[in-house]
Structure 1
Amino acid sequence: MQRSLNPVSRLHQDEVQARILLATTYPFFLAAAVVQRVLPQARSAVAQPRRSVFAEARAMAVSAIPFVFMG
């Protein structure tokens, strides 16, 4: 009789997979963030605080990763 995976082990596996996905997708999102900064955009009248390019790339990558685990 086989034993199912421990829930803690499963959570650890998901965390490791998420870190690997973050590490592999981060360079693409970093390139996208740099391109967004370089391209001229319509500036809004109200100045909004901007994150660094690295923080913006991380935010994009972190927001995209959950879609991989859906379904």
Structure 2
Amino acid sequence: MHRSFVTGSRSQQEQVQFRVILAATYPVFLIAAVLQRVLPAREHGTAPRRSVFGEARAMALSAIPFAFMG
């Protein structure tokens, strides 16, 4: 049985790739978060809202793992 072990350099390389993708996608999600605030809201939720920057980061962090699947 052959097992592949993740080496330290591969893990570090994945971290660098993650940060690069985050830096590349964050501006797109920031624009989306700003547009969500500017456009009229369809929901009238009472939940506390994050800052536009926090919302953009949350959207980017939820989308990026899909780039590493497969």
What's the TM-score bracket when you normalise by the shorter of the two chains? 0.7 to 0.9
After TM superposition, what 4+ stretches of structure 1 lie above 2 angstroms from structure 2? none
Return the alpha-carbon distance in structure 2 between the equivalents of residues 21 and 47 of structure 1. Answer: 33
Give the alignment of 1:1-71 within 5 angstroms.
Answer: 7-44=7-44, 47-71=46-70
TM-score with structure 1 setting the length = 0.85
Q: Which has the larger radius of gyration?
A: 1
Structure 1 gaps of 5+ residues are 1-5
Cα deviations across residues 19-63 of structure 1 (Å, max 9, x unaligned)?
Answer: 00000000000000000001111343x511000000000000011
Return the alpha-carbon distance in structure 2 between the equivalents of residues 33 and 43 of structure 1. Answer: 15
TM-score with structure 2 setting the length = 0.87
Structure 2 gaps of 5+ residues are 1-5
Matched residue SS, 1:65: helix
RMSD between aligned residues: 1.6
Aligned residues: 66
